[in-house]
Structure 1
Amino acid sequence: MPESPSTLSMWATISNQFNPRPPDDDEPQDWWFASTAIPLIAATTSPFANVMSVVALAMPWKSEMHYGQNDGEGNTLQVMLPDPTWCIAFNATSLAFGVIGNLFLLFNFTRSVRYIVALPASIILWSLATAILIGITSCVHIYASPVAPNQTYSQAYWYAVIAAVHYFILTVILMINMFGYFFGHYPQYFTLTDGQRTLILQTTAFGVWLLVGAPVFQKAIGISIAEALYFCDITILTLGFGDVTPKSAVGRGLVFPYAVIGIIILGLVVGSINKIIRDIQVTNLVPKRIERRREATIERSLTRDNERRKDKSVPVSQIAYRPKHTRRTPVISKITAFYRVSLGRTKAVVMREEKDRFDAMRAIQYESVVFRRWYRLILSLIAFGILWTCGALVFWALEDDLTYFHALYFGFCTLLTIGYGDITPKTNATKPFFVVWSLIAIPTMTSLISGMSDTVVSLFKRATSQVADWTVLPHSGKYRSFLTKFHPIAAYLEQREENKRVAQGFSVGPEEPEENQNGVPPCDDCPKQSLELANEKDPSDFQLAQQLAFAIQRTSRDAVKGHPKQYTYEEWVEFTRMIRFTDPSPEGTMLYEDEYGVLNWDWMGESSPMLASQTEPEWVLDRLCESLIRYISQAQKRAAGATDEDAPTLQKERDINYEA
C-alpha cells in the first residue's frame, strides 16, 4: 500500500535534517560535549564495565551465610551456591558482547574501522550486553532468588547489576554522539587530542591491572575473586582499611610490585585528568569569557563615544573614532595615528586612548585569571560535595548498622584517602558499589584538589605577603602611601615636605608649561615614556638597531623563565618603537600581517598580544626578530641599490632562506 503524501512529506522533512559530514571535513565543529566529552567518557570507563562483567561471571551469584563462623578476616563465613547453567551461558555471552563492543570503540579511535561501522557496532553490542544482563538478573530474582534468612546475593550478582547499568549508560551517550554526526555537527571521527588518547590508554591499563591482580590475590590470600578485587582497589588507592590483608609471605611479597605499579598507573591517570581539565579551561572556558568581556567593554566604549559625539560642546579631538562593530569586522578601529591626527587629534590624545585600551584589556586579562582560579575552586567544592553526600547516602542505605553521619565520616575519610579502618563496607551489596564509587571519586577528587591548590596557594602567598609588608618586612613608603589617602594627613605631609625644601634652598611648586616645544599639550594620564615617544625626536636607525639587539636578549631571558612575565605599558611603548621603525611600507599605510610580519595590532581587538596563545615575552621576541630581519633586509637592499618595487620579492626570498 503506497504511503500517503503527508507521510512522505514528514519523511522528507526528517531526511533533510540529516547532513553527515565527510571524513576529511575541517569546518568548525560544535556540540563540544557530544563530539569530545562523550567519546572520552565512554572510552575511559568502558574497560571497568568489562571488569565488572568478568567478576560477575567468575563466581556464583548466591551464597549461604553461616552465622557464628568466621572466614579468617573477621567476617561471617559464606559458602557459594552454584548458578543454573543457563545463567552462566547467558552471562558469558553478555561478557563477550561487552568486550567486542569495547574493541570496536578502540578500533574507532585508532581509525582502523570506519566510524559509521564501528560506532553502531559498539552501540548494538553494548545494547545486547545490557539486555542479557537485565534479563538474567531479573530471572534469577524471580525464579531462583535466595531463600531467606540464610541465603543472600553474593557480590557477583551486584557486579552484574552494576555492569548492566554501566553498559546502558555507555549505549545512551554513544547514541547521542552518533545523532550529532548525522545532524552534521562534526565529521565522522572522534576529535581527541593526544592527551585524551593517552588517558584512554592509561585507564585501560588501570582496568587490566585490576583484572590481573584479582585472580592473583584470590589464590595468594585464599579469598573470593570479588574480595580480591576489593583488596586490589583499596591497595592501589592507598586506603589501607585493614579489613582484608595478606597473611602469607607470598601474599605480602606480591603487594610490593603490585602496589608500586598500580600507584604509578593511578598517578598517570590523575595527571592526565588534571591536564585535560586545565586544557578545557584554557581552550574553551576562559577564551569565551574573555571574548564576552571584551565585546561588552567595546560596546560600552562605543555607546559612550556616541553620547559624547551628540554633545556639541565636546571638541572633535576628544572623541575616539571607532567604526561600527560587527562579527566580521575588527572590534577596534584599525585607523592609523596619522589619520587620527589629521582629524584634529593630537598625538598625546592618541597615546592616552591607546593607554586606556591597554589598561582595559589588561583588566580583562586579570579578571580571566581570577575567574579561572575561582572557577576551579568552586568546581572542586561542588564535585566534592556531590561525591561525598551522594556516596554517603548510598552507604547509609546499604549498611544496616550505619547512620548517615557515620556514612559521611566514612566517605570523607575515603575521599581524602585517610583510611582509618574503623568503618569499612561489610555487606555484599556495599563492597561492589564502593569499588565503583572509589574508582570514580578518588582520582577525580585528587585531580580537582591538585588544581584547586593553585588558588589556595596563591591566596596564601598573597595573604602572607600582605602581612609581611605591614609587619616584619615593610616596603619603603608603604605606610606613607596609606596615610596619604586621608586628606588632612596628606596636606600635613605635603606642607612638611615643602618647608623642608625651602629650608634647603630649593624652589617649591610645579612649573609645568601649558604646551611643550612641539605644541603638544601635557597629558597627565599618559606615561612619561609614552609622551617621549609622542613628543621627542626619534633616535637614529642605528641607535634603534642597537636597542633592538638588547631587547631581543632581554625578552629571550624573559621567555625561558618559569613564570610568564607581563610587560608594563611603558615597556610595550619601547618594544613597539623597535618593531615598527623597520616598517618598509609607505607612510599612511597600515600593514597587519603579510610578508613583513606583524607590524600593528589593537589592544582590544582580535589581534591583541594579550589574546595570543604565546606568552608576552614569546610574542614580543617573535616581533623583534621580524624587525631585525627587516632591518638587515633593508640594509642589504640599500647596499645592493635595489628599488622599492623589488622589496616584496626580495623579502619573500629572504624569508624562504631564513626558514631554510
Structure 2
Amino acid sequence: MLSLFAIVCSWKVKKHVAPDDTSFEGSDEFWVYLVNGISVLLALISNFFLLLNFRKKVRYVISQVVSVSGWFLASMSLMALIISYHAYFYHNHMDDIYQISYGFYFAVATVCLHFINFVLLFLNELGFLLKKYKPVFNINGVQKSLIFQSSALAVWLIVGSAMATKLLHCPFGFGLYYCTISIVTIGEQQDVPQNATAEGLMAFWILIGLVFFGLIVSSVIDTIIEFSSSTLYWHRLALTKELRLKLKQPSILSNRDAYEFMRDVDSIAELTQKLYSLLTALCIFMVIFLCGSAGFSLFEGWPYRLGCYFCFCSLVTLGCGDVVPVTEGGQVLFCVWALASIPSMTTLVSDLSELVFSRMKRFNDIDMYDVFYNIANSSKHLRLVAKVFSAKEDTVDIKDLENMMQEINLTVSHNKEKDLSPRSTALSAQRSPGELAAEEGSIPGIPVNSSGSTNALALATPGGKLPPNVSVPEAVYATVPLPTHPVDTLFEFILTNNKLVSLDFVNSPQFVDRVTMSTHLGNYCREGAKVVSFNSGQVNDARENLMKAFKAIDGDFDEDSFARNYELAEGPDPSEPDVEKDIGPQDESRKSVLHLPDNTIRTMFRKKHDYILNNLCTLQILITELKKAMMMMAFNPRFRYSLEDWDHFLRLTQNSVYLLENDNGEFWTGDRSPLGFPNHEPQYFAMTYLRHLESKLHQFAWEYDKDKFQLTIDRRGSQVA
C-alpha cells in the first residue's frame, strides 16, 4: 500500500504554498516513476507467490525463492532510488525552490517494510535449509482472516485518502494521515469537513475503518497469544522439565511423585512463559515508543520530551491537539507509527492482564461473603449484621454441595472380612454421592488372571469361560466410579453448568428413563459386587441439597415430582425384618442398583453374565466418561484432572505405555506423557474416549462375528470359513 502512495504522491513540492494547494506539486522525473514501478511490481510478484504458498498452490521451495528474491530486489532497487534521488535533489540545488514531499517519505517507509519482509522470509528459508523448520507455512484460521483484514484495511485507506483529497481539498498523502488519525481515534481536529455532504460521507467511511482496524488488532492479539501459549510454551515446558529432572530425578520414586513433579513443571513453565511474553511485549512497545519520539523530534524539530509527550497522548487517544506533526515527513511517520504502536500497546496490556489474573485465580475459591459473615458472626457487636446477611434455610450453596459430594465414601472390597485397600480408598475420593468403585477381584465367581486382576470379559459368560477367539481386555471397567442411582448423574448439571435456567426436562419421563437405563447398564459388569461402606445419611443429605439447588436455579422446579420420579421419598426401613421385601432383579421400576438389604449391586436386567450386555456395559461406561469430559470441555476447558482421574482414564483407554511404565513414574516424566505438552485436558479426555469408544465398538462387532460365524481374516484380507 505504501509503495502505491510513493508513486501517486509527488516526491517534491514548491516551498511556501498553502498545504491544500496541490497545483504547486513538482513533476517527478521519469526515472523516478520507472524504478518505483519496477519495485512495486517485484513486491506484488513476491506477495502473490507468498499467498500461493499459504494456500498450498505452489511448492514451498519454489515460492520461497521467488518471494525472498523479490522482496530483496524490491527493497534494494527502491533504496538505490532514494539515495540517488536525495543526491540528485541537493546536488542540483533543487532545495532552493522545492522541498521533499510525501512521496519520498512513503518510499523510505516502503523500503523499511520490504527489507523486514525479506529478513523474515530469509530466516525462514535458512531454518528450512538447516532442517530446523518444515517446508510449509502452518497458518490457522485467525491468521488467514488477518491477511484478509489487512488487505481490506489497505483498500479502505486508499479509497479513504482519495475521498479526503476531494472532500477536504488536501494532498493525497495528507488524506492518508487524516484517515489514520481517524481510525486510531485520536481526533486532532486539524482539518475537518466543511459541508454536510463531506461530514456524512467521511463519518460513514470512518465507521467502516474502525471496524476493520478493531478486527485487525483483535486478530493480532489472538495470533500472538496463541503462538505464545502453544509453540513457545511447548519449548518452555520441555526446557523446564529437562532442567528440573537433573535436580529432582532421584526424589521421584512413584507415580504420584512424578505426577506432582510434572504439575510443578507446568506451573513454572507457564509463569515463566507469561513473564517472557510480557517482557518481550514491553521491549517491543518501548522500542516503538522511543523510536517514534525520536523520529517526531527529528522531523518536527521538537525537544525529545515533547516527542514523548505527543506519543503518549496518541497512544492513550487523548488527542489534545496542542502538539501535532505539520511536516510531510512527520505525518508519514505518524501513519506508520500509529498503525504499529496501537497493536503493540494492546498486546502489552493483554499480556499484563493475563499474568495478573492468572495469579489471582487462587483467590477464586475464597468466598468473600462467607469470610464477611464469619467475621461478623464472631463479634457480638456485628451479629445483628450477620443475621441480616445470613442465608435462607431453603437454599444451598453450590460450593458446599460440591464439598459434600467429595466427602461421600462408597466402596467395595474383596469380601466382607477384608478392610478397604489403599486402591479402593483412592478410587472413592472425589466422586458424586452414590458412585461406586468396585475393587478388582471383588465380584464373586469371576476368575483372576496371573497378574491378580479380574477378567472383566469373563463376567459375560456362564462359568467364567470366554467365547472362542475373544481377546482378554483389562479389568478396569468394574473399578470406575459410577452412579448407583439415576439422581447421582444430575450433580454434573450443577457443578459444571452455570447457564441452566429451566430444569423441567429433569422430571420428563424420557429423561428419567434414559438416566435410569444408563445407571443400570453401566453397573452391569459389577453385578453382585459387595458394598462394605455406604453412608446412607450422607448420600440422602446430598440428594436433598441437590433438590434445593435445583429449586434455587429454577423457582418453578417441582420437588415433589422429582422425589417421586427418582424414588427419593422416604419409605419403610428395609433393615426391619417385618417390612423387608425381596427387590429382585426383574423389578424394572427400581431406580437404584444398590440393593440395601444385602448391600449388593443388582441391575434390572434378567440376563446375567451375558456376552452382549457385558460389552454394552463397557460401551456405556465409556459414553458416561465421554459425556463428563465433553461437559467439562464446554464449561471449564482449562480444568485439570487429579492423578486418580488420569489413572481411570489411562486404564479405560488401555494406554499401553502407561500400563507398562506405571511403577516408578517413568510414564509421567517420559516423552509420551500427556502433561509434557500444552494440553486442554477435558478436550484430550473427550477425543481419546471418542476414539477408544469407536475402537471398542469395532472390536465388539468383530469378536461377536467371529464367535458366531467362526470367520478369520488372513493378512491378505480374504475371509476363510
> TM-score with structure 2 length normalisation?
0.58
1:428 pairs, out of 304, 328, 343, with 328
Partner of 1:14: none
User: Which residue in the other structure is 2:542 paired with?
Assistant: none
**Rounded Cα–Cα distance in structure 2 between residues aligned with 1:436 and 1:252:** 25
- C-alpha spacing 1:449/1:538, structure 2 compared with 1 (3 Å): farther
**What is the CA distance between 1:637 and its match in structure 2?**
9.2
Amino acid at match of 2:99: T
- Distance in 1 between the 2:657 and 2:205 partners? 59
Is this contact kept in 2: 1:64–1:81, CA < 8 A? yes
The 3-state SS of whatever aligns with 2:14 is strand
Alignment of 1:338-487 (within 5 A): 353-400=254-301, 402-459=302-359, 468=368, 472=372
Please state whether the residue corresponding to 2:670 is helix, strand or coil: coil
Of residues 633, 646, 664, the one that matches 1:559 is: 633
Paired residue for 1:607? Answer: 672
2:2 to 49, 52, 73: 52
1:576 offset after TM fit, Å?
6.2
Q: Distance in 2 between matches of 1:601 and 1:478?
A: 50
- Alpha-carbon distance between aligned partners in 1 of 2:5 and 2:170, rounded to the nearest angstrom: 13
Residue pair 2:15, 2:97 contacting (<8 A) in 1 also? yes
Alignment partners' CA distance in 1, 2:32 and 2:147: 32
Deviation at 1:257, TM superposition (A): 3.1
Classify the secondary structure of the residue corresponding to 1:472: helix
Q: Name 1:133's counterpart in structure 2.
A: 78
- Report how far residue 226 of structure 1 moved: 0.4
* Residue 561 of structure 1, CA deviation: 0.9
- Find the residue that maps to 1:243 and give its secondary structure: coil
Asked whether the 8 Å contact 1:137–1:160 carries over to 2, the reply is yes
Identity among equivalent positions (%) equals 25
Aligned to 1:31: none
Which position in structure 1 is the counterpart of 2:234?
287
CA contact (8 A) 1:59 1:225 kept: yes
Deviation, 1:228, is: 0.3
Given that residues 134 and 161 in structure 1 are in contact (C-alpha distance below 8 angstroms), is that contact kept between their aligned partners in structure 2?
Answer: yes
Using the TM superposition, name which of 218-227 and 469-478 deviates more: 469-478
Match of 1:335 in 2: none
Tell me if the contact between 1:601 and 1:607 (Cα under 8 Å) persists in the aligned partners: no
- Deviation per CA, 1:231-271, whole angstroms, max 9, x where unpaired? 11111222222123222323222223322222222222222
The answer for the alignment partner of 1:501 in structure 2 is: none
Cα distance change on mapping 1:388 and 1:473 into 2, 3 Å: farther
Residue 5 of structure 1 corresponds to which residue in structure 2? none
Match of 1:105, SS? Answer: helix
Q: Is 51-60 or 563-572 further displaced after alignment?
A: 563-572
CA change 1:477–1:646 in 2 (3 A) is farther
Distance apart, 1:206 and its partner CA: 1.9
8 Å contact kept, 2:149–2:216: yes
Q: Distance in 2 between matches of 1:408 and 1:384?
A: 13
- 1:235 is matched with 182
Task: Quote the Cα distance in structure 1 between the aligned partners of 2:319 and 2:202.
Answer: 18
State the 1:404 CA deviation.
Answer: 2.0
- Counterparts in 2 of 1:55-74, with a 5 A limit? 55-66=5-16, 71=19
Q: CA deviation at 1:175?
A: 3.7
Aligned equivalents of 1:647 and 1:474: distance in 2?
Answer: 71
Q: 2: distance between equivalents of 1:155 and 1:223?
A: 12
Native 8 Å contact 1:392 1:404 kept in 2: yes
The CA distance in 2 between the partners of 1:172 and 1:641, in whole Å, is 62
Structure-2 residue corresponding to 1:95: 40
1:562 is displaced (CA, Å) by 4.3
Distance in 2 of aligned mates of 1:117 and 1:424 = 47
**1:219: Cα distance to partner?**
1.0
Partner-residue secondary structure (3-state), 1:63: strand
CA apart distance, 1:610: 3.2
How many angstroms apart in 2 are the aligned matches of 1:166 and 1:241?
A: 27
What CA distance in whole angstroms lies between the structure 2 residues aligned with 1:575 and 1:104? 47
Q: Distance in 2 between matches of 1:224 and 1:646?
A: 84
For residues 148-205 of structure 1, the C-alpha deviation after alignment (integer angstroms, 9 at most, x for no partner) is: 5774211222112222333334334434444444455556554434433332232222
Which residue of the partner structure matches residue 333 of structure 1?
A: none
Name the SS of the counterpart of 2:287 in structure 1: helix
Q: Partner of 2:334: helix, strand, or coil?
A: helix
How far off is 1:635 after superposition? 8.3
Q: CA deviation at 1:230?
A: 0.6
Q: Deviations over 1:482-515 (max 9, x none)?
A: xxxxxxxxxxxxxxxxxxxxxxxxxxxxxxxxxx
Could you state the TM-score of these two structures normalised by the residue count of structure 1?
Answer: 0.63
Which residue identity lines up with residue 241 of structure 2 in the other structure?
A: R
Are the structure 2 counterparts of residues 635 and 199 from structure 1 closer, same or farther at C-alpha, using a change threshold of 3 Å?
closer
Which structure has the higher relative contact order (CA within 8 Å, separation 6+)? 1
Aligned residue for 1:423, secondary structure, equals: coil
Q: Which residue of 1 aligns with 2:145?
A: 198
Identify the match of residue 617 of structure 1 among 670, 682, 685.
682
Could you report, residue by residue, the CA deviation over 1:4-60 in whole angstroms, capped at 9, with x for unpaired residues? xxxxxxxxxxxxxxxxxxxxxxxxxxxxxxxxxxxxxxxxxxxxxxx2222222232
Would the alpha carbon gap of residues 567 and 214 (structure 1) be closer, same or farther in structure 2, given more than 3 Å must change? same
Q: Which has the higher helix share?
A: 1
Inter-CA distance 447–528: structure 2 relative to 1 (3 Å threshold): same
1:462 to 1:386, Cα distance in 2 relative to 1, 3 A: farther
SS, match of residue 259 in structure 2: helix
- 1:299-330: per-residue Cα shift (whole Å, max 9, x none)? 4444347xxxxxxxxxxxxxx4xxxxxxxxxx
Cα 1:635–1:158 shift into 2, 3 Å: closer
Please report the RMSD computed on the Cα atoms of aligned residues, expressed in angstroms: 4.5
**Is residue 12–residue 100 contact of structure 2 (8 Å, CA) maintained in 1?**
yes
**CA gap 1:591/1:466 in 2 versus in 1, 3 angstroms:** closer
The separation in 2 between residues aligned to 1:142 and 1:640, in whole angstroms, is 87
Tell me, in whole angstroms, the C-alpha distance in 2 between the residues paired with 1:623 and 1:114. Answer: 34
C-alpha deviations, 1:324-374, integer Å up to 9, x for none? xxxxxxxxxxxxxxxxxxxxxxxxxxxxx2222222222223333333433
Residue 413 of structure 1: CA displacement? 2.3
**Structure 1 unaligned blocks of 5 or more:** 1-50, 306-319, 321-352, 480-515, 584-589, 595-599, 653-660
Counterparts of residues 623-638 of structure 1 (less than 5 Å) = none
Q: Is the 8 A contact 1:469 1:475 kept in 2?
A: no
SS of 2:669's equivalent? coil
Contact 2:637 2:682 in 1 (8 A): no
Q: Which residue of 1 aligns with 2:565?
A: none
CA distance in 2 between counterparts of 1:390 and 1:533 reads 65
**What is residue 83 of structure 1 aligned with on the other side?**
28
Q: 1:550 to 1:242 in 2, by over 3 A?
A: same
Q: Given residue 208 of structure 1, which amino acid in structure 2 is its aligned partner?
A: V
- 8 Å CA contact 1:373–1:455 kept in 2: the answer is yes
Corresponding letter in the other structure for 1:278:
I
- Say whether the 8 Å CA contact 1:520–1:535 is kept in structure 2: no
Deviations 1:66-96 (A, max 9, x none): 2xx7657xxx999423333443443334333
Query: What's the offset of the Cα at 1:224?
Result: 0.1
What is the match of residue 88 of structure 2?
A: 143
1:457/1:413 CA distance change after superposition, 3 Å:
farther
Structure 2, unpaired ranges of 5+:
380-415, 431-435, 445-477, 479-523, 527-616, 660-664
